[in-house]
């Protein structure tokens, strides 16, 4: 479940409102409440050109972080919309009574409807992900809700937080068979003017976040992954973040493998009335089962007849399988991925259809 909601947690971290003084920027609990509650953010997540180095600044002040020149040729673009709304009435809300906000996403495929809800709390010492609920409906016989809570709650961002601060935390989540143990470390190192690809600019705090996740399957070690992200937070909640190849990076030029920027796009929608992923819209579903061995099913929906590409990549960005390539009619499609000849670990699958694209993670256990 941690992998499924990787993109949802990052959106929380990268969408926070920062208070600002003349020489430094400080994040407080009140700032987070102002930024998150009943607010919608849109995150544009892109695979950055792996052969291109970019300067991500250092620990000093008064810098300019200019990313306005990051254009389409450098990236492949995905879009995620997150609505931070009241948890009241959402599936599994009774299991997270301390939640301050929640984000719900609905997916439909082959007659089944899956609702995933992430629950968050805004506490004096930080912004936390409490857990996830999964509501599965396959009429007329299946209607189940499962909840998965972090132990302890997962720290997305500490407060108060300013230049020179750091915080480390560890959390665990499991679904009975699979257990993920993640250690998060975040360091505030530098500040200056951030310029986004849409030309928006403002003062921002520079952060370095390090995450290491160890996965156990039925009590046996399965895999370990580590990522380092350099993030920039604007005063108004707009952000930019780069996942870098060097997990020891601290300053200067870096080989970035992924780029995300997030901007506030209005008040949170009541997603119970406007679900995403309903039939007829572009949607890439999470593979099932996940984790898997040796095969799994991937479902997706396209809104019109398009040339479709569905490919699988390893952690280094190398293509390991082409599942679909060709023109397909509008509707929901399913394809089975056979991975018997691949080593265990984390893989990505990416769907492109016309101007739309999306990417998800999956875990192969061997």
The 283-284 sheet, strands edge to edge: 283-284, 295-302, 331-338
**Residue in the block written with tokens 């600019």:** 201
Do both 255 and 287 map to the same domain? no
- The reply to whether 256 and 314 lie within a common domain is no
Residues 304 and 223 in one domain: no
Q: Are residues 261 and 313 in the same domain?
A: no
C-alpha span between 103 and 196 (Å, rounded) = 25
| DSSP codes, 52-71 | -EEE---S-SSEEEE-TT--
In a domain, 278, yes or no: no
227, 346: one domain: no
Residue 143 token pair: 């209607």
Q: pLDDT grade, residue 317 (50/70/90)? A: confident
Q: Do both 113 and 227 map to the same domain?
A: yes
CB 268 within 8 A of CB 287: no
Least confident of 93-97, 257-261, 345-349: 257-261
Structure confidence at residue 357 as a pLDDT band (50, 70, 90): confident
What is the extent of the structural domain holding 308?
Answer: 283-364
- Number of structural domains found in the chain: 2
The answer as to whether 111 is a domain residue is: yes
How large is the greatest C-alpha to C-alpha distance in the chain, in angstroms?
61
Query: What pLDDT, on a 0 to 100 scale, did the predictor assign at position 215?
Result: 92
Average confidence score pLDDT of the chain? 83
Specify whether the CB–CB gap between 75 and 47 falls below 8 A: yes
| Least confident stretch, 38-47, 175-184, 278-287, 303-312 | 278-287
Is residue 313 domain-shared with residue 261, that is, in the same domain? no
Q: Write down the pLDDT at residue 175.
A: 77
**Residue 76, pLDDT score:** 46
* For residues 284-288, average pLDDT: 87
Q: Are residues 207 and 124 in the same domain?
A: yes
* Euclidean distance between CA atoms 285 and 47, whole angstroms: 19
One domain for residues 123 and 63:
yes
**Does residue 255 have a cis bond before it (omega within 30 degrees)?**
no
Give the pLDDT confidence score for residue 208 in this predicted structure: 97
Q: What is the pLDDT of residues 213-222, one digit of tens each?
A: 999 988 899 9
| 117 and 218 assigned to the same domain | yes
* Domain annotation covers residue 229: yes
In a domain, 272, yes or no: no
Q: Is 80 exceeded by the pLDDT of residue 252? A: yes
- pLDDT single digits (tens) 115-127: 889 999 999 999 9
Cα–Cα distance measured from residue 30 to residue 36, given in angstroms and rounded to the nearest whole number: 10
Closest CA to 154 of 167, 163, 143, 145: 167
Buried b (16+ CB within 10 A) or exposed e, 267-305: ebbebeeebbbeeeebbbbbbeebbbeeebbbbbbbeee
Which segment of 16-25, 73-82, 114-123, 277-286 scores lowest on mean pLDDT?
16-25
Distance CA 314, CA 347 (A): 5
Could you tell me which residues are beta bridge partners of residue 222? Answer: none
Decide which of 238, 267, 296 is a domain's last residue: 267
Does 274 fall in a domain?
A: no
66 or 289: which leads in pLDDT? 66
Domain boundary among 217, 239, 267: 267
- pLDDT at 85 exceeding the cut of 50: yes
Contact 75, 289 (CB under 8 A): no
Report the distance separating Cα 242 and Cα 263, nearest Å. 15
Domain-located, residue 277: no
Check if the beta carbon of residue 277 is closer than 8 Å to that of residue 263: no
97, part of any domain:
yes
C-alpha R_g of the chain = 20
| Structure-model confidence comparison of residues 267 and 185, the more confident one | 185
SS3 call for 282: coil
Q: What is the pLDDT of residue 23?
A: 55
Residue 264 vs residue 181, higher pLDDT: 181
Half-sphere exposure of 21 (CA within 13 A, CB side): 9
| pLDDT tens digits for range 337-347 | 999 889 888 89
* Structure tokens belonging to residue 135: 């509501």
Q: Judge whether 275 lies within some domain.
A: no
Residues paired with 353 in a beta bridge: 308, 356
Residues 143 and 197 in one domain: yes
Name residues whose C-beta falls within 8 Å of residue 69's C-beta, 6 or more positions apart in sequence: none
CB within 8 Å of 217: residues ≥ 6 apart: 177, 178, 291, 365
pLDDT given for residue 269 in this prediction? 62
> DSSP code of 303?
S
Residues 211 and 261 in one domain: yes
List, for residues 132-174, the tens digit of each pLDDT value: 998 988 887 888 999 999 999 999 989 999 999 999 999 999 8
Single out the residue of 214, 220, 204, 165 nearest to residue 188, CA to CA: 165
Q: Among residues 241, 267, 293, which one ends one of the domains?
A: 267
């Amino acid at each position: 479940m941690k992998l499924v909601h990787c993109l949802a947690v990052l959106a929380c971290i990268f969408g926070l409102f920062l208070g600002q003084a003349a020489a430094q920027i400080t994040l407080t609990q009140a700032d987070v409440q102002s930024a998150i509650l009943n607010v919608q953010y849109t995150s544009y997540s892109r695979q950055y050109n792996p052969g291109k180095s970019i300067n991500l600044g250092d620990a000093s002040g008064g810098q300019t972080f200019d990313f306005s020149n990051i254009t389409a040729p450098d990236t492949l673009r995905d879009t995620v919309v997150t609505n931070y709304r009241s948890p009241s009435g959402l599936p599994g809300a009774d299991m997270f009574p301390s939640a301050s906000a929640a984000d719900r996403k609905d997916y439909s495929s082959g007659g089944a409807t899956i609702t995933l809800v992430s629950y968050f709390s805004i506490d004096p010492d930080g912004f936390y992900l409490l857990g996830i609920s999964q509501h599965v409906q396959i009429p007329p016989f299946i209607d189940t809700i499962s909840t998965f809570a972090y132990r302890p709650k997962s720290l997305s961002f500490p407060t108060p937080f300013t230049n020179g601060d750091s915080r480390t935390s560890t959390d665990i989540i499991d679904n009975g068979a699979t257990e993920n143990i993640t250690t998060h470390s975040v360091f505030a190192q530098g500040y200056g003017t951030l310029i986004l690809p849409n030309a928006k600019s403002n003062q921002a705090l520079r952060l370095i976040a390090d995450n290491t996740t160890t996965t156990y399957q039925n009590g046996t070690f399965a895999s370990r992954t580590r990522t380092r992200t350099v993030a920039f937070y604007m005063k108004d909640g707009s952000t930019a973040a780069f996942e870098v190849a060097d997990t020891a990076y601290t300053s200067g030029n870096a080989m970035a493998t992924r780029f995300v920027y997030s901007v506030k796009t209005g008040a949170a929608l009541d997603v119970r009335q406007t679900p995403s992923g309903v039939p007829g819209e572009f949607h890439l579903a999470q593979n099932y089962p996940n984790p898997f061995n040796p095969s799994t099913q991937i479902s997706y929906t396209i809104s019109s007849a398009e040339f479709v590409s569905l490919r699988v990549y390893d952690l280094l960005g190398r293509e390991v399988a082409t599942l679909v390539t060709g023109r397909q009619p509008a509707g929901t499609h399913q394809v089975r991925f056979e991975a018997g000849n691949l080593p265990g670990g984390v893989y990505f699958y990416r769907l492109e259809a016309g101007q739309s694209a999306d990417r998800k993670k999956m875990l192969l256990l061997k």
